[in-house]
Chains A and B, each alone.
Chain A
Amino acid sequence: MSQIPKKIMIADDDPGIVDAVEMLLEFEGYSVTTTVDGSTVLDMKDELPDLLLLDIWMSGEDGRDICRQLKATPATKNIPVIMVSASRDIEQSAIDAGADDFLAKPFEMDELLAKIEKLTR
Chain B
Amino acid sequence: MENNIYPDAESENVFKTIIEQSPSPVGLYVGRDIVITLANDAILKVWDKDKSIIGKTFRQALPELEGQPFFDLLDKVFATGIAYEAYAERVDLLIGGQMQTFYFNFIYKPLKNAKGEVWGILNTAEDVTELVLTRKKLAEAEERSRFALDSAELGAWDMDPENERVTWDERCNQLHGFTEGQVTVYSDVLKHIHPDDLQNIKQKVQKALTPGGDANYDETFRIICPSSTRVRWLRSKGKAYFNGQGHCVRFAGTTQDITAEIRDKEEQRKLITLVDHTSDFISLSDLDGNVSYVNTAGRKMMGIDDDADLPHNSEFIMPGEKNKLKNEINKALQTTGKWSGEVLYRNFKTGEAIPVMGTSMLIDDPTGKPQGRATIARDLRTELVNKQALVDSEHLLQNITSASPTALWMADDNGMITYANKTWTDWTGQPTKDLLGTGWLHCILPEDRARAAEKFLMDLKAQKPYEVDFRIRRKRGEIRWCIATGHPQYNHEGKFMGYIGACTDVTEKTITDIELQLKNGELNDQIRQFEFVTDFMPVQLWTAKTSGELDYVNKQTINFFGLPMEAVIGEKWIDNVHPDDRPGCIAAWTAALQSGTLYQYEFRLCDKNGEYKWHLARALPFINDGEIVRWFGTNTDIDEQKQMQRQKDDFLGIASHELKTPVTSIKAYAQVLGAMLSNEGEEKKAQMVMKMDAQLNRLTNLIGDLLDVTKINSGRILFNKVWFDFNKAVEECVQDLQHTTNKHILVMDFKETGKVYSDKERIGQVMTNLISNAVKYSPHSNRIIISTEREGNMVTVCVEDFGIGIPEDKKDKVFEQFYRVSGSKQHTFPGLGLGLYISNEIIRREGGKMWVNSIEGKGSTFCFSLPVAETK
Point out the residue from B664, B671, B676, B720 that lies within 8 Å of A17, measured CB to CB. B664
Given contacts A27-B676, A106-B696, A106-B700, whether A86 and B661 have CB atoms under 8 Å apart is yes
A55 nearest CB neighbor, chain B only: B661
Point out the residue from B667, B672, B675 that lies within 8 Å of A106, measured CB to CB. B667
Given contacts A14-B661, A105-B663, 6 further A-B contacts (CB under 8 A): A16-B665, A17-B661, A21-B665, A23-B669, A107-B667, A109-B671
Point out the residue from A14, A16, A27, A108 that lies within 8 Å of B672, measured CB to CB. A27
A21 CB, nearest partner CB in chain B, Å: 5
Query: Residues of A at under 8 Å CB distance from B?
Result: 14, 16-17, 19-21, 23-24, 27, 86-87, 89, 92, 105-110
B676 nearest CB neighbor, chain A only: A27
Judging by beta carbons under 8 Å apart, are A24 and B664 in contact? Answer: no
CA distance A21 to B671 in the complex (A): 10
Q: Is B811 an interface residue (CB 8 A)?
A: no
A59 CB, nearest partner CB in chain B, Å: 12
CA distance A86 to B661 in the complex (A): 7
B403 CB, nearest partner CB in chain A, Å: 91
B667 nearest CB neighbor, chain A only: A106
B653 nearest CB neighbor, chain A only: A87
Point out the residue from B668, B675, B700, B718 that lies within 8 Å of A20, measured CB to CB. B668
Interface size (B, Cβ < 8 Å)? 21
Judging by beta carbons under 8 Å apart, are B676 and A106 in contact? Answer: no
Q: Is B96 an interface residue (CB 8 A)?
A: no
Judging by beta carbons under 8 Å apart, are A20 and B665 in contact? Answer: yes
Judging by beta carbons under 8 Å apart, are A86 and B696 in contact? Answer: no
Contacts of A17 in B (CB 8 A): 661, 664-665, 668
A-B contact pairs, 8 of them (CB 8 A): A17-B661, A20-B666, A20-B672, A86-B660, A86-B661, A106-B664, A107-B664, A107-B667
CA distance A55 to B865 in the complex (A): 38
Given contacts A27-B675, A89-B718, whether A105 and B668 have CB atoms under 8 Å apart is no
Judging by beta carbons under 8 Å apart, are A86 and B665 in contact? Answer: no
Contacts of B671 in A (CB 8 A): 24, 108-110
Q: Is B657 an interface residue (CB 8 A)?
A: yes
Q: Is B564 an interface residue (CB 8 A)?
A: no
Contacts of A108 in B (CB 8 A): 667, 671
Contacts of A107 in B (CB 8 A): 664, 667
B716 nearest CB neighbor, chain A only: A89
Judging by beta carbons under 8 Å apart, are B657 and A14 in contact? Answer: no
Judging by beta carbons under 8 Å apart, are B660 and A14 in contact? Answer: no
Contacts of B720 in A (CB 8 A): 92
Contacts of B664 in A (CB 8 A): 14, 17, 20, 86, 105-107
B723 CB, nearest partner CB in chain A, Å: 18
Contacts of B669 in A (CB 8 A): 20, 23
Q: What 6 pairs between A and B have smallest CB-CB spacing?
A: A20-B668, A16-B665, A106-B664, A109-B671, A86-B660, A20-B665
B283 CB, nearest partner CB in chain A, Å: 109
A14 nearest CB neighbor, chain B only: B661
Contacts of A110 in B (CB 8 A): 671
Contacts of A86 in B (CB 8 A): 657, 660-661, 664
CA distance A36 to B602 in the complex (A): 44
Contacts of B667 in A (CB 8 A): 20, 106-109
Judging by beta carbons under 8 Å apart, are B660 and A23 in contact? Answer: no
CA distance A9 to B671 in the complex (A): 20
CA distance A16 to B666 in the complex (A): 8
A104 nearest CB neighbor, chain B only: B660
A27 nearest CB neighbor, chain B only: B672
**Per-residue 0/1 for B714-727: is the Cβ within 8 Å of any A Cβ (1 yes, 0 no)?**
00101010000000
Q: Is B662 an interface residue (CB 8 A)?
A: yes
Point out the residue from A19, A21, A89, A105 that lies within 8 Å of B660, measured CB to CB. A105
CA distance A105 to B699 in the complex (A): 13
CA distance A114 to B669 in the complex (A): 18
Judging by beta carbons under 8 Å apart, are A105 and B672 in contact? Answer: no
B633-683, CB < 8 A from A: 657, 660-669, 671-672, 675-676
A42 CB, nearest partner CB in chain B, Å: 23
Judging by beta carbons under 8 Å apart, are B668 and A24 in contact? Answer: yes
Given contacts A86-B657, A86-B660, A106-B696, whether A23 and B675 have CB atoms under 8 Å apart is no
Contacts of A89 in B (CB 8 A): 711, 716, 718
Judging by beta carbons under 8 Å apart, are A14 and B665 in contact? Answer: yes
Contacts of B696 in A (CB 8 A): 106
**Per-residue 0/1 for B690-711: is the Cβ within 8 Å of any A Cβ (1 yes, 0 no)?**
0000001000100000000001
Contacts of B660 in A (CB 8 A): 86, 105-106
CA distance A17 to B665 in the complex (A): 4
CA distance A107 to B672 in the complex (A): 13
CA distance A23 to B669 in the complex (A): 8
Given contacts A17-B664, A20-B665, A105-B664, whether A87 and B657 have CB atoms under 8 Å apart is yes
CA distance A21 to B661 in the complex (A): 12
Contacts of B668 in A (CB 8 A): 17, 20-21, 23-24, 109
B663 CB, nearest partner CB in chain A, Å: 5
A118 CB, nearest partner CB in chain B, Å: 19
CA distance A9 to B711 in the complex (A): 33
CA distance A42 to B662 in the complex (A): 26
B590-618, CB < 8 A from A: none
Contacts of A109 in B (CB 8 A): 667-668, 671-672
Contacts of A14 in B (CB 8 A): 661, 664-665
Judging by beta carbons under 8 Å apart, are B672 and A24 in contact? Answer: yes
Contacts of B711 in A (CB 8 A): 89
B345 CB, nearest partner CB in chain A, Å: 103
A60 CB, nearest partner CB in chain B, Å: 16
A57 nearest CB neighbor, chain B only: B657
Judging by beta carbons under 8 Å apart, are B665 and A19 in contact? Answer: yes
CA distance A19 to B664 in the complex (A): 11
Of listed B664, B671, B672, residue having the most chain A CB within 10 A: B664
CA distance A19 to B667 in the complex (A): 12
A89 nearest CB neighbor, chain B only: B718
B662 nearest CB neighbor, chain A only: A16
CA distance A20 to B664 in the complex (A): 9
Of listed B662, B669, B676, B696, residue having the most chain A CB within 10 A: B669
CA distance A19 to B662 in the complex (A): 11
Of listed B662, B672, B700, residue having the most chain A CB within 10 A: B672
B682 CB, nearest partner CB in chain A, Å: 15
Contacts of B672 in A (CB 8 A): 20, 23-24, 27, 109
CA distance A24 to B668 in the complex (A): 7
Contacts of A21 in B (CB 8 A): 665, 668
**Per-residue 0/1 for B579-591: is the Cβ within 8 Å of any A Cβ (1 yes, 0 no)?**
0000000000000
A17 CB, nearest partner CB in chain B, Å: 5
B699 nearest CB neighbor, chain A only: A106
CA distance A89 to B715 in the complex (A): 13
A18 nearest CB neighbor, chain B only: B665
B671 CB, nearest partner CB in chain A, Å: 4
CA distance A79 to B599 in the complex (A): 59
Contacts of B700 in A (CB 8 A): 106
